[in-house]
Every structure is written in structure tokens, then in C-alpha cells.
Amino acid sequence: MSIVSDTGHNNNMIDLATKRPEFKEAKPPFDIEKYWHNIVEDHMRVAQGTFSPEQYIVFEQWVKTAEAAIKRGNKLIFFGNGGSAADSQHIVAEMSIKLHRERSPIAALSLSLDASAITACANDYGFDQIFSRQIRTLGYGGDVAVGLSTSGNSANVLNGLKKAKRMDMTTIGMTGKTGGKINSHCDLLLKVPSTNPARIQEMHITLGHMFVGALEERLELV
């Protein structure tokens, strides 16, 4: 209930003009230009490490593995959490619809789209099973499972890759610097040399764009 003083003012209202942050020490104004240069420098450093000759070998194998899978009638399945879920959906959209030029669709699924399946599984079996259960439902031997995790330690991504492996799918991981726990469960692993999730995801989506572009060329769809 609002309290009104004798002067007629509502004591629950805040005077924003005089409000000051509590428990914070004064500091210099934020330097936008310095921040800009720091982020650009970090991005370029990580990009240089990501697009290395060693990483190209893994990338080429990923494209050729996907090419073979699509040609024999299989599909690609992508999955991840948060920003990685968004990246998986982004890449799949460009496979199933198009990247730049008109072409036939490429068979691909993202496992972060079905809210009913995700919440039912999380409620009944646990959040760590949301991808493995869908892979069991939708996946077949010969498919390619692509798990995205900036840390490489996301339990649900790990379990999804384990299930895919048991179902005779090829497993691909996209991670940060160390590869984390999924390292030992991937046939191919693309690692971004950073521990900063923002930099890692920036590289993941660039790798995803390059992957779709290379795959549609290999499939002679464009």
C-alpha cells in the first residue's frame, strides 16, 4: 500500500534525478574507444588462431563427412545451449533454406526448437537428457551429430554426443580452447583458442557459414 506524507507526496516514489547507485565506488567514465579497440584486437587474435592450417584439416574432413552423409540419404543434427542453441538453429536454417543462392535444401535439424519435447524431457528425465532423448527419437546410423559447447563440458551436449556415438553416427564437436569433456566423444573437434564465450561463438558462426558454403558447393547445389 502506498504511503502519502502530510505534504501530499507518495513516499514510495523514487526521485530518479537524485537517485545514486548504492555500494559502488566512484570510477572514471567508461572509455568506449578503448573498449572498441580491445574487443577488435581480441577478436582478430582469436580469429587468426581459429583459421589455422591445422584447423583447416579438421574443417575439410567435416565438410567431406557431411557430403558423404547427405549423398547417402542421411542428415545433420545440431544442438547446444543458449547462444550455441541459437547458432545451431542459424546454421540449420541456412542448410535447409539457403545461404546466399537459390538451391535445393540440405537435410538438417536443430534440437533446440521443440519446446514441448525439451520441457517434457527436462521435467521427466532431467535437463541433461534433452538432446540424447531427441537423438534417440530422430537420429539414425550414418547421420552426423554436431554438438556446440563453448566450455566443452555441457552435460546435455556430452550426453547427446554419447548417444549419437552409440547409434553409429559421426560426432562433431565445436568448442573453446580446451575441448572439455566432449573431446573424447567426437570424431572431429573444432576448437576456438579462447575461453571467452563471446569470441568462441563469433568463431563458431563464422565456421558454420563457411561449412554451409563449402557443403553446398561440394554437393553441386549452386
Cell numbers for 65 = 563427412
Residues 6+ apart with CB under 8 A from 187: 65, 170, 171, 172
Phi, psi at residue 175, to the nearest 5°? -135, -170
Phi, psi at residue 3, to the nearest 5°? -110, 125
Residue 83, pLDDT score? 97
**Confidence (pTM):** 0.88
Please report the domains of the chain, with CATH numbers, ordered by start residue.
54-218 (3.40.50.10490)
Residue 158, pLDDT score? 98
pLDDT at 82 over 50: yes
pLDDT at 54 over 90: yes
Whole-number percent of the chain with pLDDT over 90:
87
pLDDT tens column, 20-40: 666 667 788 999 999 999 999
Residue 217, pLDDT score? 98
pLDDT tens column, 65-75: 999 999 999 99
| Distances in whole angstroms, Cα of residue 69 to Cα of each of 19, 85, 107, 134, 165 | 61, 23, 10, 19, 15
The Cα–Cα gap between 198 and 86 comes to: 13
Closest CA to 206 of 47, 72, 25, 18: 47
